[in-house]
Amino acid sequence: MKILMVCLGNICRSPLAHGLLQKKVDDRGLDWYVDSAGTGAYHVGEGPDPRSVDVAAAHDLDIRYQKARQFIVDDFDEYDLIFAMDSSNYSNMMQLARNEEDQQKIHLILNESYPGENRTVPDPYYGGDQGFKNVYDMLDEATNKLLERLVRAKNN
Ligand code: 4NP
């Protein structure tokens, strides 16, 4: 199983989703690969935003190993599931999808917590630390739900 988390810059939201899910997957001893990317190229090569690094570290999660990269069409071939943080990431990737199979890989991450509601993870970039805490909590819950759902599917 290969899972990709996607936001705009790949420095604030998707690195948290990536780090959270990878740790939970590893803790369960599952041989799954998790990565993240941004639809935009502004921050390619940079590490995660220090505010994301800090909120992760406060929960014993180290995301400093990550490097921002841009989402590419080949990611549709590489990944089984692709999660958008918000509706703009979602529609940007939908536009890049080559066929229905690509499109079916794309989901909004918060639909794991709130099925069918199409809620979005707010972009915390221009806000303060509280925004990063909110994003962390939302993604912690969503990645718990996602992992439970995938483990259930795997065992059925
Ligand atoms: P992210 O946040 O998409 O959660 O990584 C952003 C980071 C940078 C910018 C926008 C959003 N930016 O415009 O540079």
Q: Is 123 a catalytic residue?
A: yes
- Tell me the average pLDDT of the chain: 98
Q: Locate 141 and state its tokens.
A: 């819950």
**pLDDT digit string (tens) for 117-151?**
999 999 999 999 999 999 999 999 999 999 999 99
Q: Is 13 a catalytic residue?
A: yes
Report, as an integer, the average pLDDT of 10-31: 98
Euclidean distance between CA atoms 18 and 38, whole angstroms: 12
Per-residue pLDDT at 101:
98
Eight-class DSSP state of 79: -
Euclidean distance between CA atoms 112 and 150, whole angstroms: 11
Ligand 1: residues with CB < 6 A are 7-13, 38, 42-43, 123, 125
